[in-house]
């Protein structure tokens, strides 16, 4: 018996040593292997991101500034911070040593805090002691290049991979992207003959010059240089044929284009008086790019303007005049923006004026994805309705929505054929897929639709404040198109956070009951005030300060009623807490007690079955013995 016990213990020890050895061996042999079992493949990087990592010529240093101790007070941020850290560690592992990740927890008033600020990561003040909470990423390369994500916004969680991949991609490049800019509108500033004064550059244009290597082009261009990463066309109008052929060849070699066309460009004086709103009768303010757009699979009608009863804004046509609803000046909200595209995600408001509409052309070979759309209360108006328009309200006369959502901006990708097959260019079809973002409005670029001047500061400088996201929209589009095809392909991923749907339902139900009680209280308060006012006017004594018995009784009744309703409100809130707490207790019981109990019961049943089976086998063996 003792021999068997020793043998059994030795076997258990040998099995334990074997298990440890196999664990160590598998950890070494399977190093670098990953198996992502999350529902939305959160830890599986996109092929474009992997290609960016593989394409790094030199190491990139990443500094993840994360206030671990402070984050403990904010469970949602702490969970997301862990998600970001694990994702960065995954990228560092996949980079084969090209990404050098450092995780820094800046202490208050430390050198790490100064380092974070120097690299562009800014702390957010939290608590009463003025402590800063850091949650950002900075990167450097061997040429002193710096990029930063100042703060990881949890609302942009689906674009975590895109933002990080973009930062790494920018650090891997040794020069700013080149943007060729061809505009028929006076965006670059200069002398304004209409006012006789100098004109400032449009803010969108000026900021693009700081973010990119901006190369201004003229309609006389006959060739787009190969180093141009993005070509911007603003209100192309009467472009010479050589310029159109040069644009065609740029598109065929896989060029990235950002195009703004318009049926009625307000900033274009046309043939009329530039001081007349929307021009005079006969003024042609439309863009003409039909041949090229058609070859790219896009239909654009330069004679129709989109009107929208839902998104039409109230404007004043002249100083001192009351605002009037203008159904062709649109204030789009997030519901009209594609939340799944990196260009439009996270934006809340875009303003357009007399915009046209886009649609995929018949037999198009390209993929057409709407980015901005009207509401279903939209229709089209002929451009002629805007000639000498004095009363915007008159646009609603006879206007009937079609129930269709019109596309105001779109992303177009895919292979195309030359718009000029008999032209001098060597390419007759796409050498690489086209990447195009096209807007059916040019006025969204103008300062007045999204910026307002702020009062002069202490130093005498005048600042501008954005009241819409037009500028962010354009810079996002440029930033996206200036990236490689790998970066463009990295779209929004599924969200890491999982909502407590049952808890949200309980909270919505309780909020509905709370709102009903609040309305009841407000109604009774109003009725009581009216009753008091009536009693006051009926008093013979107008001394005013002494309450009558009726008034005193009414006030006491109301106070008692108010206490009752407030008690009901507390009861509703308590009921909400109890419902949520009860749900949590049930989940805890299931996870902590019920599930282990079930497994223990199954294990016990399996052990009993095994023992019974062994006893039966032993009984059979004994009966076989002579």
Q: What is the 3-state secondary structure (H, E, C) of 369-390?
A: EEEEECCCCEEEEEHHHHCCCC
User: How many Å apart are CA 276 and CA 269, to the nearest integer?
Assistant: 9
Instruction: Tell me which CATH code domain 178-270+282-482 carries.
Output: 3.40.50
186: left (phi over 0), alpha (psi -120 to 50) or beta: beta
With bands split at pLDDT 50, 70 and 90, how would you rate the model's confidence at 281?
A: very low
Mean pLDDT value of segment 502-528: 59
Q: Between vectors from CA 303 to CA 273 and to CA 281, what angle results, nearest 5°?
A: 25
212-216, 339-343, 449-453, 494-498 — which is least confidently predicted? 494-498
User: How many Å apart are CA 351 and CA 343, to the nearest integer?
Assistant: 16
pLDDT recorded at residue 181: 97
CB 405 within 8 A of CB 376: yes
User: How many Å apart are CA 436 and CA 482, to the nearest integer?
Assistant: 11
With bands split at pLDDT 50, 70 and 90, how would you rate the model's confidence at 65?
A: very high
> Cβ neighbours of residue 194 under 8 Å, at least 6 residues apart?
269, 274, 275
Going by DSSP bridges, is the β-strand pair 124-126/131-133 parallel, antiparallel, or unpaired? Answer: antiparallel
| Candidate ranges 17-31, 162-176, 296-310, 489-503; pick with highest mean pLDDT | 296-310
Mean pLDDT value of segment 327-343: 93
Q: Is the pLDDT of residue 85 over 80?
A: yes
Nearest to 232, CA basis, from 208, 264, 266, 196: 208
Q: What's the half-sphere exposure (Cβ side, CA atoms, 13 Å) at 485?
A: 8
Q: Is the pLDDT of residue 359 over 70?
A: yes
User: How many Å apart are CA 81 and CA 71, to the nearest integer?
Assistant: 8
pLDDT recorded at residue 337: 96
Nearest to 254, CA basis, from 439, 393, 432: 432
With bands split at pLDDT 50, 70 and 90, how would you rate the model's confidence at 202?
A: very high
pLDDT recorded at residue 150: 92
CB 423 within 8 A of CB 245: yes
Q: Is the pLDDT of residue 481 over 90?
A: yes
455-459, 518-522, 587-591 — which is least confidently predicted? 455-459
User: How many Å apart are CA 259 and CA 372, to the nearest integer?
Assistant: 14
Going by DSSP bridges, is the β-strand pair 131-133/135-140 parallel, antiparallel, or unpaired? Answer: unpaired
> Cβ neighbours of residue 95 under 8 Å, at least 6 residues apart?
53, 56
With bands split at pLDDT 50, 70 and 90, how would you rate the model's confidence at 551?
A: low
pLDDT recorded at residue 19: 61
Rg (CA), the chain: 34
What residues form DSSP beta bridges with 214?
Answer: 179
366-370, 395-399, 589-593, 614-618 — which is least confidently predicted? 589-593
pLDDT recorded at residue 276: 43
pLDDT recorded at residue 110: 86
Give me the residue label for tokens 């198009």: 364
* CB count in 10 Å sphere of residue 143: 10
pLDDT recorded at residue 69: 85
Nearest to 489, CA basis, from 166, 111, 65: 166
Give me the residue label for tokens 């043939």: 271
User: How many Å apart are CA 356 and CA 442, to the nearest integer?
Assistant: 10
Going by DSSP bridges, is the β-strand pair 304-308/312-315 parallel, antiparallel, or unpaired? Answer: unpaired
pLDDT in tens, 86-124: 999 999 999 999 999 999 999 888 899 899 999 999 888
Better-scored residue on pLDDT, 224 or 546: 224
Determine phi and psi for 378, rounding to 5 degrees. -115, 160
With bands split at pLDDT 50, 70 and 90, how would you rate the model's confidence at 420?
A: very high
Nearest to 312, CA basis, from 280, 347, 354: 354
Give me the residue label for tokens 């996870």: 591
- The model carries a pTM of 0.62
In 3-state terms, what secondary structure has residue 460? coil
358, with CB counted inside 10 A (0-12, 13-18, 19+), is buried
With bands split at pLDDT 50, 70 and 90, how would you rate the model's confidence at 557?
A: confident
Q: Is the pLDDT of residue 579 over 70?
A: no
Going by DSSP bridges, is the β-strand pair 434-439/256-260 parallel, antiparallel, or unpaired? Answer: parallel
Mean pLDDT value of segment 287-294: 93
User: How many Å apart are CA 410 and CA 408, to the nearest integer?
Assistant: 7
pLDDT recorded at residue 356: 97
pLDDT recorded at residue 205: 94
Instruction: Tell me which CATH code domain 47-169 carries.
Output: 3.40.30.10
pLDDT in tens, 127-167: 656 678 899 999 999 888 889 999 998 877 877 888 899 89
pLDDT recorded at residue 104: 94
- Domains of the chain, residue spans: 1-31, 47-169, 178-270+282-482, 501-539+548-624
Q: Is the pLDDT of residue 55 over 70?
A: yes
pLDDT in tens, 224-233: 999 999 999 9
> Cβ neighbours of residue 173 under 8 Å, at least 6 residues apart?
none
User: How many Å apart are CA 198 and CA 195, to the nearest integer?
Assistant: 8
At 289, list the tokens: 């790019």
Share of the chain above pLDDT 90, in %: 42
With bands split at pLDDT 50, 70 and 90, how would you rate the model's confidence at 240?
A: very high
Q: Is the pLDDT of residue 32 over 70?
A: no
**Ranges assigned E (strand) in 309-406:** 312-315, 324-333, 349-353, 358-360, 367-373, 378-382
pLDDT recorded at residue 457: 40
Better-scored residue on pLDDT, 455 or 203: 203
At 383, list the tokens: 């451009």
Better-scored residue on pLDDT, 595 or 510: 595
């Amino acid at each position: 018996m003792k021999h068997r016990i020793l043998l059994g213990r030795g076997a258990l020890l040998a099995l334990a040593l074997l298990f440890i050895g196999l664990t160590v061996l598998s950890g070494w042999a399977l190093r670098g292997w990953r198996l992502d079992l999350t529902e939305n493949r959160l830890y599986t990087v996109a092929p474009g991101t992997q290609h960016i990592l593989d394409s790094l010529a030199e190491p990139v240093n990443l500094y993840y500034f994360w206030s671990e101790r402070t984050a403990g007070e904010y469970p949602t941020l702490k969970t997301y911070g862990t998600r970001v850290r694990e994702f960065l560690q995954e990228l560092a592992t996949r980079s084969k040593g090209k990404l050098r990740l450092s995780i820094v927890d800046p202490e208050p008033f430390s050198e790490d805090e100064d380092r974070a600020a120097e690299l562009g990561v800014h702390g957010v003040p939290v608590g009463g002691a003025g402590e800063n909470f850091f949650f950002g990423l900075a990167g450097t390369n061997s040429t002193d290049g710096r990029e930063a994500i100042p703060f990881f916004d949890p609302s942009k969680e689906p674009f975590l991979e895109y933002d990080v991949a973009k930062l790494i991609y920018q650090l891997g490049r040794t020069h700013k992207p080149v943007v060729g800019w061809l505009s028929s509108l006076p965006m670059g500033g200069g002398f304004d003959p209409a006012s006789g004064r100098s004109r400032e550059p449009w803010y969108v244009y000026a900021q693009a010059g700081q973010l990119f290597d901006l190369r201004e082009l003229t309609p006389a261009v006959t060739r787009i240089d190969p180093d141009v990463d993005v070509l911007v066309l603003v209100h192309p109008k009467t472009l010479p044929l050589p310029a159109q052929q040069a644009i065609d060849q740029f598109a065929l070699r896989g060029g990235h284009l950002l195009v703004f066309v318009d049926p009625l460009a307000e900033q274009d004086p046309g043939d009329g008086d530039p001081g007349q709103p929307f021009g005079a009768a006969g003024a042609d303010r439309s863009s003409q790019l039909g041949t090229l757009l058609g070859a790219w699979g896009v239909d654009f009608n330069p004679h129709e303007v989109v009107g929208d009863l839902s998104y039409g804004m109230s404007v004043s046509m002249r100083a001192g005049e009351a605002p009037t609803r203008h159904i062709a000046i649109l204030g789009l909200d997030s519901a009209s923006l594609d939340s799944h595209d990196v260009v439009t995600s996270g934006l809340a408001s875009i303003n357009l004026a007399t915009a046209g509409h886009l649609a995929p052309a018949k037999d198009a070979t390209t993929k057409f994805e709407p980015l901005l759309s009207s509401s279903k209360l939209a229709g089209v108006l002929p451009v002629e309705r805007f000639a000498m328009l004095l009363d915007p309200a008159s646009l609603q006369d006879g206007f009937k929505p079609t129930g269709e959502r019109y596309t105001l901006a779109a992303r177009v990708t895919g292979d195309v054929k030359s718009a000029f097959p008999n032209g001098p260019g060597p390419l007759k079809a796409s050498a690489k897929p086209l990447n195009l973002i096209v807007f059916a409005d040019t006025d969204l670029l103008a300062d007045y639709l999204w910026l307002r001047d702020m009062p002069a500061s202490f130093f005498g400088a005048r600042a501008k404040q954005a009241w819409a996201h037009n500028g962010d929209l354009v810079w996002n589009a440029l930033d996206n198109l200036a990236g490689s095809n790998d970066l463009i392909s990295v779209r929004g991923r599924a969200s890491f956070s999982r909502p407590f749907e049952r808890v949200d339902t309980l909270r919505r139900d309780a909020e509905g009951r709370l709102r009903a009680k609040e309305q009841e209280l407000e109604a009774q308060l109003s009725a009581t005030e009216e009753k008091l006012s009536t009693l006051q006017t009926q008093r013979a004594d107008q001394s005013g300060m002494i309450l009558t018995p009726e008034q005193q009784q009414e006030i006491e009744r109301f106070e008692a009623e108010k206490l009752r309703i407030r008690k009901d409100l507390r009861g509703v809130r308590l009921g909400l807490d109890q419902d949520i707490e009860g749900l949590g207790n049930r989940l805890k019981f299931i996870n902590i007690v019920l599930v282990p109990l079930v497994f223990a019961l199954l294990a016990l049943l399996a052990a009993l079955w095994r023992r019974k089976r062994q006893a039966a086998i032993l009984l059979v063996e004994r009966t076989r013995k002579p």
